[in-house]
Structure 1
């Protein structure tokens, strides 16, 4: 038997507060926490973990209600997920971490840095939720009372394979003359393989129930109901990297520009032609970006005096960057009645 290398990915489990939590772990060195999106699981990071594990201890949990973790009738709010990340890190013996969050996981990552600033060294937001209300209309539909019946249909034999085949067929369709690229079948189904993969996991009744509880905590028929924009100013000393695909049909690319405006010191990396999963579309580039970002930025050390000053001062709109239209959109997102808690 060959020895297990540091970069070999292991699936491990810990029971915390009575619930089993699964996580992938690999590597050694400083801790790097990867948080997946709604309905997904830690396997979504499989193509980037081995490279990242050459430099860091990579921890990729299955959020409660997702993947191999337990799926109780529980609190699936963004703050609750942030608590779960803190608890897992404490159990694993890590008190400092660079956090990478995708989609819902981006909102959880931002909330984690707000709730537990002493833990956070750097922050990477990947197609993150929590900017404006805008979100894919399908998620708005699934948040409504008819969602249970819609998800129940996924359990019927042949439904998921049919969806997969239909999505592949439409995604491969040639561009229709005169139809803008923004609404072409190819672009609308840019992430079809990953989205169908996520849907396939929802055939399990406990998984679909947990998914609905999670979705309804962050989305209703009007769109996203929580925001990170009202706390962006608290990242003033925290190194922040934004990564987005410019053809994202789940969380629009415009959100990247607004987040970059509200976090003026942030870096924005655009994956041209990519959709909602840039780390799966180009895992090599993604891993290199994260490694370079960490190498170039020293870990922030929590300063309680500065934290108190920031919270006392509050948001400073005059520091937002971008054109007038972008800044106005940021102000609207902050003032539209949503909150991070």
Structure 2
């Protein structure tokens, strides 16, 4: 099958070296297309840049679209050491700073949206406009059985499995499990093709460490949710309490049929963000970027075209 990076981006897959939240050098895989103001596309947990396959071409007609795989995901490095709970916030900030000399637009889905809200709070100079999609800002728990399972398996066991290449030995099963999971968050499951199954499962099968790093972020999320529920200091509460400091224009997109987080969360978020607007997308589940790409693209462009150029 043709290299997705080469067929999607003029320069194919590029590598960016950053210092991660632990102080170590890591390589971040990214691709970019188009010219003009930078627009970052931020994937959610378990995904990678391929999640934005139906958005890149359309948005690149108007902006310099930049997709990257977060550390531990997709084609980026997967270090063996354990992570800080805020590592993605720190690393996203460093990626934007390395690739841009001006403030950027950020379009972020699911966990990527939560990370982007934190970056907008802590580093307001980096983000000029923000679009978040189905963001887990008020989580009651893990939304999926697969996440619950991974949250209970010791990371050392998963790491051993990864290093022994167990996922590659059971590649057809891994691909099928991921296909079932991805179809479960689409309003129309038939939109998820065999090609999609191939590419979404590719990092898990071919890059040891992927499963471990995804599970580690899930386990970090579980701890943060538990701390939040017990009224102890945690990142979720910190982000919630600081929403009012976000001054950049913000568009909140939410799937009306989101089976992970109710659109009611979007309504609550809109009330707490002073310069925001909410748009509910009908016939749309949690995976909006690939399940309802036309609606997402149209809403994003309408929002951004209403903004003055800089």
Structure 1 and Structure 2 fold alike (TM over 0.5) = yes
Task: Check if 1:11 corresponds to 2:13.
Answer: yes
Verify: 1:296 aligned to 2:306, yes or no: yes
Structure 2 distance, partners of 1:299, 1:242, is 21
Matched, 1:231 2:242: yes
Match of 1:218 in 2: 221
1:145 pairs with 2:153: yes
Map Cα deviations across residues 234-287 of structure 1 (whole Å, 9 max, x no partner).
Answer: 12x321111111222223333212212222542111121211111212222211
Query: Matched residues in 1 for 2:144 and 2:299: separation?
Result: 31
How many residues end up aligned between the 2 structures? 282
Match of 2:259 among 244, 249, 259: 249
1:100 to 104, 107, 124: 107
Among residues 178, 201, 204, which one is paired with 1:202 in the alignment? Answer: 204
Task: Report the secondary structure of 2:295's partner residue.
Answer: helix
Q: How does 1:148-187 map to 2 (within 5 A)?
A: 156=170, 158-163=172-177
Between the aligned partners of 1:187 and 1:149, the Cα distance in structure 2 is: 34
Give the direction of change, closer, same or farther, for the CA distance of 1:75–1:104 in structure 2 (3 Å limit). Answer: farther
Q: Does 1:71 align with 2:78?
A: yes
Contact 2:139 2:261 in 1 (8 A): no
Could you tell me whether the CA contact under 8 Å between 1:39 and 1:199 is conserved in 2?
A: no
CA 1:54–1:78 in structure 2 vs 1: closer, same or farther (change >3 Å)?
Answer: farther
TM-score by length of structure 2 reads 0.77
Give the Cα separation in 1 of the matches to 2:150 and 2:33: 35
Q: Does the Cα contact within 8 Å between 1:40 and 1:66 map onto a contact in 2?
A: yes
1:189 Cα deviation after fit: 7.1
Give CA-to-partner distance per residue, 1:9-36, whole Å, 9 cap, x none: 7321112222111112111111111110
- Give runs of aligned pairs for residues 260-271 of structure 1, distance below 5 A: 260-271=270-281
Aligned residue in 2 for 1:275: 285
- The root-mean-square deviation of aligned C-alpha atoms, in Å, is 3.7
Distance 2:186 2:307 in 1: 38
**CA distance, structure 2, for counterparts of residue 258 and residue 62 of structure 1:** 29
Q: What are the residue-to-residue correspondences of 1:52-71 with 2, within 5 Å?
A: 52-71=59-78
Aligned 1:43-58 pairs, distance under 5 A = 43-58=50-65
- Cα displacement string for residues 90-130 of structure 1 (whole angstroms, at most 9, x for unaligned residues): 22233301111111100111111112111111111111122
User: Residues 8 and 48 (structure 1 numbering): CA distance in 2 closer, same or farther, change over 3 Å?
Assistant: farther
TM superposition shift of 1:38:
0.9
Q: Is the 8 A contact 2:141 2:222 kept in 1?
A: no
The Cα of 1:75 is off from its aligned counterpart by 5.8
TM-score normalised per structure 1 = 0.70
Aligned mates of 1:220, 1:5 — CA distance in 2:
39
CA apart distance, 1:8: 4.3
- In structure 1, list runs of 5 or more residues that go unmatched: 172-184, 301-341
Greater Rg, structure 1 or structure 2? 1
Q: Choose from 35, 39, 48 the match for 1:32.
A: 39
